[in-house]
Amino acid sequence: MKKSLFVCSLILSLAMLTTSAMAASSQKGLSLNINGNLADGQNPIVINSVTLVPIRTVSLIPNLKVDWDNKTKTVTVTDSDTKNKLKLTVGSNSAYVNDKKVAVGVNPTVKEGAVYVPFRFIGEALNANVRWDTDTKTVIIYKPTQTLLQRFASNKLEESRNAAIQLPRISLHEELAGTEEGGDGGTYYFPNKKSNSFIYAYRGIAQYAEVKDGAAWVKWEGQISTSKPSNKSVIPNVLQVSDKAWGDRPSFTGKIDFFKDLWKTEQVKFGTFDENGNVIFEGEKSLPNKGKDIIATIPAE
């Protein structure tokens, strides 16, 4: 009898250790990407397959302000863009979005002196975009402003393009190191008359991004080559890359519009290449909106 109890106890102990090890392993490999930036040192935890983060992590989401009432153990998150407000209480399964009562799923909790809250719940309750990338074990949360979303949806190409390059830019791959010293602000390339994809070239590295669901998703990155044009041209006779790259290399053909950020002189140089890489239009203008709106109007677009 004693032997049986000992065996059962041993099996139970091993099961608990295995479960703890699996939980620790899943948490150790978990990453957070907030508005395109990797958030290190946040120490997320997982309870019942739900990711919880310290309340300080929530304040990293743009336009969200976090307040803590120690007396009532209540977290209040306010969206300064939409004015929506969310209230959660430690240990309670209920929360309030403005005046509407909703179920949390996993209660806010206290761990090692820090208040942890369910990350996805907060994001979705305040209309942020939340994604899970299985390959990189990354929780992605981003929240573009309503103004940016409206500008991107504009039928004015200049407005839409300026919004596209200011939306959260998200890459789930380790970025390549620059090969050149920093100088001007880089160059953006757009297919003629389009705003939903672009290439950004800066410090010897080119990034290709596609705009979808309120963010610019980086799909490819490559080291720029200064050699003669080859079959590795991204833009014929304009932008060549080396073998050092990741993702699916894009190919921009036809007319291409370019915008070079000359922030030192508060100017932008812009123009259009034809399908052979020859400049068929070129101009300059000052940088408006504190240097954010570098995209200019291309004639005949």
222-236 pLDDT tens trace? 999 877 656 678 998
Cα-based distances in Å from 34 to 60, 131, 143, 169, 213: 7, 11, 9, 10, 15
CATH of domain 32-142: 3.30.457.10
Does 17 score more than 90 pLDDT? no
pLDDT at position 115 over 50: yes
Q: Which of 94, 101, 92, 111 is nearest to 47 (CA)?
A: 111
Q: What does the alpha-carbon distance between residue 186 and residue 204 come to, in Å, rounded to a whole number?
A: 9
- Is it the case that residue 5 has pLDDT exceeding 90? no
pLDDT at 156: 96
Tell me the C-alpha distance between 221 and 201, whole Å. Answer: 10
Q: CA-CA distance, 259 to 138, in Å (whole number)?
A: 33
Mean pLDDT of the chain: 87
Q: Is the dihedral of CA 59, 61, 62, 65 positive or negative?
A: negative
- pLDDT tens readout for residues 161-210: 999 999 999 999 998 998 887 767 899 999 999 999 999 999 999 999 99
Tell me the whole-structure pTM to 2 decimals.
Answer: 0.86
- As annotated, the residues of the chain forming the CATH 3.30.457.10 domain(s) are 32-142
As a whole number of angstroms, the distance between CA 254 and CA 274 comes to 6
Residue with tokens 């299985």: 134
Residue 258 clears pLDDT 90, i.e. is over it: yes
Q: Judge contact between 178 and 194, C-beta under 8 A.
A: no
Least confident of 29-33, 215-219, 272-276: 29-33
Q: Considering only residues 87 and 231, tell me which one the structure prediction assigns the higher pLDDT.
A: 87
Which of 214, 48, 71 minimizes the C-alpha distance to 121? 48
Average pLDDT (23-35) is 68
pLDDT at 22: 32
State whether residue 270 is helix, strand or coil.
strand
